[in-house]
Structure 1
Amino acid sequence: MPETRSVRARSALPRFAITQESIVLLIAVVFFLIFAAVLPGFLAADNLLSLLQNVSILGILGVAMGIVVIGRGIDLAMVTTMAMSTAWTIALMNAGTAALPSVLAGLGFAAAVGLINGFLVAYVEVPAIFATLAMSTVIYGFGRLFLVDLDVLYLPADAGWLRALSGSVLGIPLPVVWFAIVALAAFAFLRFTRAGRYIFAMGDNREAARITGIPVRPMAMLQYLISSVIAFAAGMITASLLATVNIRVAQSTMVYDVILVVVLGGIGLSGGRGGVRNVIVGTLLIGILLNGMTILDMSFTVQNLVKGAVLLLAIIVDSIANPRDEQTAQQGDI
């Protein structure tokens, strides 16, 4: 009897599974402790707040990308959508258009891009990686031809409300607060709504989801719509933070940084698993790593090399942990 009670007691103890998320969190803690010990000024309050503020935009985009990847998709047009929709909004404001119509125009442009992406993937059945990659080029070319003619646009002098988006509350930078709000909203959407459960089901097995009556194609369009709308919000926060919009970011490696955050945090590229918590963990690790490399005065090229190596390693780990199934290969997704 005592032995039986002992076995029951051991079985009642919580079991802690070793997951990619927990490993990444542990690595983030280790890097934090190492940088705190060897880098002067790393633990300064200003530096820590700057660290959080600098990765908040990346985290917001990571949440959007995470929703798409969970549904077994990918949005390579996200950063271009962010840049061009925000640039058009600022261009309209500089041309004398009122703030509300300008914002609605930019939001409408981003939403239209999301719907087109979703239509190409869901109804035309173009693999997501190719559809969104092509759309990224189309968006940039269309924007430069018809919407904006400058690489860098500055906020108008009377856009105080926009500058306020990057202020602070109780000493906490507002971009961090916006990241928290977006993350909480996405968590609630994925966890407590029918549409969120549908996205997980689609990512796990699209054909099974279709057979059970889930409207797979409209839900795919919803994924890309959400992604583009969040990208526009991230663009407006970035414009507030920098007081400028540089559309050359559309041709940068930022979209790969977003994918890095998502995959590194543990959201499988095969779809159907992961959540907002994974994005937060991945964002923290990348934020700590980038901050440490900046303090060490590493060149931009070296930083890109490190990020690329980490992304490659994360994809290899994801391929081992979440192997491609026959359906994924037929679909043509990553």
Structure 2
Amino acid sequence: MNSKTTQARTAGWQQIQRWFTQERIVLSLAVVLFVLFSVALPGFATHDNILSLVRGVSVLGILGMAMALVVIGRGIDLSLVATMAISVAWTLALAGSGVPLAQALVYGALFAVLVGLVNGMLIAYADIPALFSTLAMGTFIYGLGRLKLIPSDVVPAPENEPWFTAIGQGEVLGVPMPVLLFVAVALAGAAFLRYARAGRFVYAMGDNYLAARITGIPVRPMVVLQYGLASLIGFIGGLITAASVSGMNTRIVNSTLIYDVILVVVLGGIGLSGGKGGVRNVIVGTLLIGVLLNGMTIMNVQYTVQNVVKSSILLAALIFDSLLNPRDEQTAQQGDI
């Protein structure tokens, strides 16, 4: 009798543990924060503020999708924001110099993809750890862009292209365009990871890199593909940013945005050890950070204090991730993070 009772209690506790996943915990925290801010902060739950909130986190969510793609495959991309800023700023600079905007967009997208492909080749074929490769590439791209490609820190968007402005400032049936584009990117990312063969390869590589190689998965080309796609998604997020504020400020590279992106991914439940997580985790992490930042902004919390709060949450999320997804010998040998 006692043995059966113990087994029943153990089974019940295991079921509770399976239900309380990091994704559900973070979603619950987002809901709790939303309710608390709605009650305590005048103007938080208004229609205009909620629209502003979801519009503001859309780009963060899109960049989170890009980062998630490489993190699931057991990598990381610290050059994402630099690639986004320089490629979009160069696009706007070309358009300002007389190049048709559509043509400039193609050039900018190709530039972003090229940076991603170089990142992937350095990691896959030169065996440079992703942490160091992408950190160096981000610094290089920013320096190259400011030295050769972009005339100033801030590059304005073209004024005679209303369709471009609509990308960041327009609405469809009352829903901001950035939100719709975030939904489109999220659906495309979910379809890729779930139904495409390459998406399944990403999970297999993240779960066990060496086993994926032994089973015949083309791991080196897949790494290159991961970083190329991540840079392209980052370019899309940069276009929305530029259209929203009518220009691209390249000093965003020196901001904490890249850490916000990593925070969204890790906090949402995508383990840095790879092979786990998906689009829902990015959405959940984005919602929590969006609610938190919006509430702190309404409370007039200083930017420095906000950074302290975000960094503390990121540190806690990394500790939690290390406990849930401990590093193994195979992960350490890959030297990715």
Same fold? TM cut 0.5: yes
Q: Over residues 295-329 of structure 1, what are the superposed CA-to-partner deviations in whole Å (9 max), with x where a residue is unaligned?
A: 00001101111000000000000000000010111
Q: Distance in 2 between matches of 1:147 and 1:159?
A: 22
Match of 1:33 among 32, 35, 42: 35
1:197 alignment partner in structure 2: 200
1:283 alignment partner in structure 2: 286
Q: Distance in 2 between matches of 1:128 and 1:67?
A: 14
SS at match of 1:153: strand
2:106 alignment partner in structure 1: 104
Out of 98-107 and 314-323, give the one that drifted further: 98-107
1:209 matches 2:209: no
Q: Distance in 1 between matches of 2:336 and 2:114?
A: 23
1:242 matches 2:245: yes
1:300 alignment partner in structure 2: 303
RMSD of aligned residue pairs (Cα, Å): 1.4
Shift of 1:128: 0.3
1:4 alignment partner in structure 2: none
Shift of 1:101: 1.4
Q: Distance in 2 between matches of 1:65 and 1:42?
A: 29
Letter in 2 for 1:70: I
1:62 matches 2:64: yes
1:218 alignment partner in structure 2: 221
Letter in 2 for 1:89: T
Letter in 2 for 1:165: I
Match of 2:236 among 233, 236, 240: 233
Residues matched between the structures, number: 324
Letter in 1 for 2:121: F
1:156 alignment partner in structure 2: 158
Shift of 1:262: 0.1
Alignment of 1:1-334 (within 5 A): 17-166=19-168, 167-334=170-337
Shift of 1:333: 2.2
Letter in 2 for 1:247: T
Shift of 1:223: 0.4
Q: Distance in 2 between matches of 1:272 and 1:155?
A: 39
Q: Distance in 1 between matches of 2:256 and 2:51?
A: 24
Q: Over residues 80-118 of structure 1, what are the superposed CA-to-partner deviations in whole Å (9 max), with x where a residue is unaligned?
A: 000000000000000011112111110110010000000
Letter in 1 for 2:174: G
Shift of 1:144: 1.0
Q: Percent identity among equivalent residues?
A: 60
Q: Distance in 1 between matches of 2:20 and 2:239?
A: 38
Out of 144-153 and 197-206, give the one that drifted further: 144-153
Q: Distance in 2 between matches of 1:182 and 1:91?
A: 26
Shift of 1:161: 1.8
Out of 154-163 and 293-302, give the one that drifted further: 154-163
SS at match of 1:298: coil
- State the TM-score, normalizing by the size of structure 2: 0.94
Q: Distance in 2 between matches of 1:104 and 1:218?
A: 23
Letter in 2 for 1:32: F
Q: Over residues 201-253 of structure 1, what are the superposed CA-to-partner deviations in whole Å (9 max), with x where a residue is unaligned?
A: 00000000000000000000010001000011111111110101100001111
SS at match of 2:251: helix
Unpaired segments ≥5 residues, structure 2: 1-7
Q: Distance in 2 between matches of 1:253 and 1:332?
A: 24
Q: Distance in 2 between matches of 1:318 and 1:248?
A: 31
Q: Distance in 2 between matches of 1:142 and 1:19?
A: 43
Q: Over residues 238-271 of structure 1, what are the superposed CA-to-partner deviations in whole Å (9 max), with x where a residue is unaligned?
A: 1110101100001111000000000000000000
Unpaired segments ≥5 residues, structure 1: 1-6
Shift of 1:18: 1.1
Out of 154-163 and 316-325, give the one that drifted further: 154-163
Shift of 1:331: 1.4
* Runs of 4+ with deviation above 4 angstroms: none
